[in-house]
Amino acid sequence: MATVLVQIVRGVIEADRRLGAPGGDRGAVVEFQGVVRGLEDGAPIDGLEYECHVEMAEVQLRRIAEETARFFALDSLLVLHRIGFVPVGETSLYVRAESAHRRAAIQAVDEVIVRLKRDVPIWKAACGT
């Protein structure tokens, strides 16, 4: 059984690099960070304000993560999404997958993000300069 952890967080995301049972069979660790970019629709911004239906987002995200971890037979999957104000250059989304094999970990990270962007109730608004 994969270790699956999802969390909607306020404040800076500190990537938990210790996730996953030591001595597990992982041969591949893939980490993704989504970072707030300095331009939104071509205009410079200070950051993004993320709005979130937290209870629903956690349920949806957990379902996505559990299904993805099972499908790709991962050792572990961690998904953190920051909400509230996120300044330019800071991480809004952090995903980490551990697996025996590279392709499974890479595809799992991509799949989680695709589904998150489709179904998890989070919205953003640019905060101008």
Separation of alpha carbons 103 and 121, rounded Å: 28
Number of residues that bind other proteins (CB under 8 A): 26
Binding map of other proteins across residues 56-85, x = CB under 8 A, - = no contact: xxxxx--------------------x----
Element at 42 (helix H, strand E): none
Site for other proteins in 23-62 (CB under 8 A): 34, 50-53, 55-60
What is the contact surface with its own copies in residues (CB under 8 A)?
A: 22-23, 25-39, 89, 91, 100, 102-103, 105-106, 109-110, 113
> What minimum distance in Å lies between the beta carbon of 51 and its own copies?
19
Number of Cβ within 10 Å of residue 10's Cβ equals: 12
Separation of alpha carbons 18 and 105, rounded Å: 17
> What minimum distance in Å lies between the beta carbon of 44 and other proteins?
19
Burial tier of 129 (Cβ tally within 10 Å: 0-12, 13-18, 19+): exposed
Q: Of other proteins, its own copies, none, which one does residue 7 interact with (CB within 5 to 8 Å by kind)?
A: none
Token output for 64:
């996505």
